[in-house]
Structure 1
Amino acid sequence: MNCTPTGCPSCQPAAVAPASVASPGLAPSSATPADPGRREFVWDAIRTFSFGALTLTALPILVAEADADDDPKAAAPPADPSATVGAAKRKRTVLFGYLVDTTKCIGCGGCMLACKNENAVPDDQFRTWVERYVYYKDGRVEVDTCTSGNFSFDQKPALDPKVVDKAFFVPKLCNHCVETPCIQVCPVGASLMTKDGVVLIDHERCIGCAYCVQACPFGTRFINHKTNTADKCTWCYHRVAKGEKPACVEVCPTGTRIFGDINDPDSDISKVLAVHRIDVLKSYLGTRPKTRYIGLTSEVV
């Protein structure tokens, strides 16, 4: 914007107020000194302002200290280390595992009978069974099982020590693999894994196609004759959910079968796993079974 020859108001110097209209509280240089009462008034104002500024600066600090005194968390002593450990355990993720010690199994068949009674498994089908491995002195190895009567090998003819070098029993059941072929092939999502590592079957969704039966490399699945759906060992999850042991573990007289949380170092299964050589069936398949064994030989598959 161009100014006029005489200048615009914005270009003109500001008018100086005459002494008679000077700013309040500021006496013109030609005026006589203020009287003592007026000077005292000014100093009172300055002192009041200074105290107010100091108060505003200190107030947040005082409030913060008061809040800290009232806060029970701030005033509480250092936490008990044992309480911290307990909280960590409560937050730990549970992961169930199963262990079979073949050096303890006596082939009594009690586990098979308990499983059938607990889970209403048809007479000629099995969620768990026991195999006997017989090593003959001539180098032969025979494998048999007992699937009738009371499922005890006592009802079989005794082995002749003159021709038999050694024999032992191997319980079999679902391995509840980490990498599960059965879950991968199910076309309707009826096979599933719980957050604590148990592989289950949704019988309401299962269509009985048997894809999972064929995909299982351990032969632990079957089509239940009564339900016409896939069936297998569930580690008695309905019992485990209530804090109980699987039926087969509970009845085993020799402690062959051990079940528990493998993420808990204080669990029975974790303590045994920590001091023994552990094997799994068909480890070369990479399915990472959660059913583990003590005392396996190369012939056990």
Structure 2
Amino acid sequence: MAVPNKGRLHDRTVDLLLKSGLDLGEDWGRKLYVTAKNQDIEIVFVRAQDIPEFINSGAVDLGITGQDQIANSGCKLEEVLELGFGHCRLSVAVPEQSSIKSIDDIKDGCRIATSFPKITKRFFDAKGKKVNIIEVSGAAEIMPYMGVADIIVDLVSSGSTLKMNRLVEIESLVQSQAVVVTSKKALSKSKSGIMDMVNSIKSVIEAESKKYLMADVPTSKLKEISKLFPGLAGPTVMNISGRDDMVAIHVVIEKSDVYDAVNTLQRMGAKGILTLPIDRLVQ
């Protein structure tokens, strides 16, 4: 499995792997590859832009990278899980004072600075524009100011970096987020292992928005509580030894509902209310 060795996707990717139960050892941060303890899984740390090609060539079975990198590579891969982070878009941006207000205004010979040359070329070829693409490894925003390029194609998240560099976004090429990606060949060979990894990561993401709530509630309020807290398949109800007037309930609730849930239970006479984090949740 290939994961980004640095950049905007690195920290969250490693966090998901660790929370999914993979033990990468104490010094994984200083290695280019590690084997997860007690698992037949090897993790390689490489550049996010190289991961699609590694998967396409069969060097690795799966990886985590951005949809922007997959689109730029041109490789036909299988996205098996959207991860909900690293949201951005690849966009065309021009200087604020430029006469270019849309793609139609771009003249042949226009110089475009970008770290995404392949998808940029495909985009402008499809528009019938003969542009000069200048590949840069970063800091594309400063290229118009330096006189190196007329416009740029770069990743945009909040747009604050464009604004600081007096650039205006005029069109988006692709929307992007982090995904787990593999290939048809890898799936045909190692589908079980790949899906085990995918489902492990998915269970971590599912759990992060939930809380496990436990409380002792009046038996007379049980029907009302069951309606208020349906959980995944209704609350789990257990008898309390020596108490006919109270039962214990366990239920999974949304993290955003904890404040109201605890206050509601208190008003209904509940005691011993506890909320706990959930490491993984398989639905």
TM-score by length of 2: 0.23
Decide which structure has greater strand share: 2
Higher Rg of the two aligned structures: 1
Decide which structure has greater helix share: 2
